């Protein structure tokens, strides 16, 4: 008997990238609140835990030796070394989530997004968040009151390089208003969940509808 409940969906990998100050973190936080089937990817790192960080929630804290072993065994979907500390996305938890029909959110730069695409292109949906203007991006960086002027100048220079990679992404969201941007990202997620390629059991369901099977 034909039953839509028998149609299972493979999860997807949702990448959000943006220059610092464009609003990616705020959008991600709100999206995770709205979407129970979406979870944040947890990276492994060789740096020591900071006060308040929780193992397996914030990061998987591992030794440099263990990290290198995982690299050699191709256990990362993407990895990089930043300021002598290494970070990487372990493959098994992500693949388990996708197989269970759950979606995984990634906060990575354009290089990480490209590496994820090289490893898992069919599962990947990438979105780049742009600020509405250069002046607004700079204003937001100043408004955070976290960095001195020289650091803000470096962030602006880095932002220009990151924004020039916009065409490597599937979707672009210009973050004029946070609420509107969250709605747009959520709409993309909803549409991508309905892709034919992510539906498992749909072909059998349609054959029954067409009278080809009982």
Q: Tens-of-pLDDT digits for all 214 residues of the chain?
A: 567 878 899 999 999 999 988 999 999 999 999 999 999 999 999 999 999 999 999 999 999 999 999 999 999 999 998 878 999 999 999 999 999 999 999 988 899 999 999 999 999 999 999 999 999 998 988 887 667 888 888 889 889 999 999 999 999 999 999 999 999 999 999 999 999 999 988 888 888 889 887 6
Encoding tokens for residue 135?
């002046």
Terminal-to-terminal C-alpha distance of the chain: 6
Pick the CATH number of 4-194 from 3.40.50.12280, 3.40.50.10860, 3.40.50.300, 3.30.365.10: 3.40.50.300
Burial class (CB in 10 A: 0-12, 13-18, 19+), 65: exposed
pTM over the 0.75 mark: yes
SS3 9: strand
């Amino acid at each position: 008997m034909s039953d839509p409940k028998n149609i299972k969906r493979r999860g997807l990998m949702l990448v959000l990238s943006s220059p610092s100050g464009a609003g990616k973190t705020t959008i991600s936080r709100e999206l995770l609140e709205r979407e129970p089937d979406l979870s944040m990817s947890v990276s492994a790192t060789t740096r020591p835990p900071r006060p308040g960080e929780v193992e397996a929630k914030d990061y998987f804290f591992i030794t440099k030796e263990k990290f290198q072993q995982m690299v050699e065994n191709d256990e990362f979907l993407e990895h990089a070394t930043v300021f002598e500390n290494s970070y990487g996305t372990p493959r098994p938890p992500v693949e388990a989530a996708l197989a269970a029909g759950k979606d995984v959110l990634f906060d990575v730069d354009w290089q990480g997004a490209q590496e994820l695409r090289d490893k898992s292109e069919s599962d990947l949906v990438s979105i780049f968040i742009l600020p509405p203007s250069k002046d607004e991006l700079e204003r937001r960086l100043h408004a955070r009151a976290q960095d001195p002027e020289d650091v803000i100048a470096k962030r602006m220079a880095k932002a220009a390089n990151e924004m020039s990679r916009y065409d490597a992404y599937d979707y672009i969201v210009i973050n004029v208003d946070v609420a509107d941007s969250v709605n747009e990202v959520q709409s993309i997620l909803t549409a991508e969940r309905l892709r034919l390629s992510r539906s498992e059991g749909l072909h059998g369901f349609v054959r029954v509808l067409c009278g080809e099977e009982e």
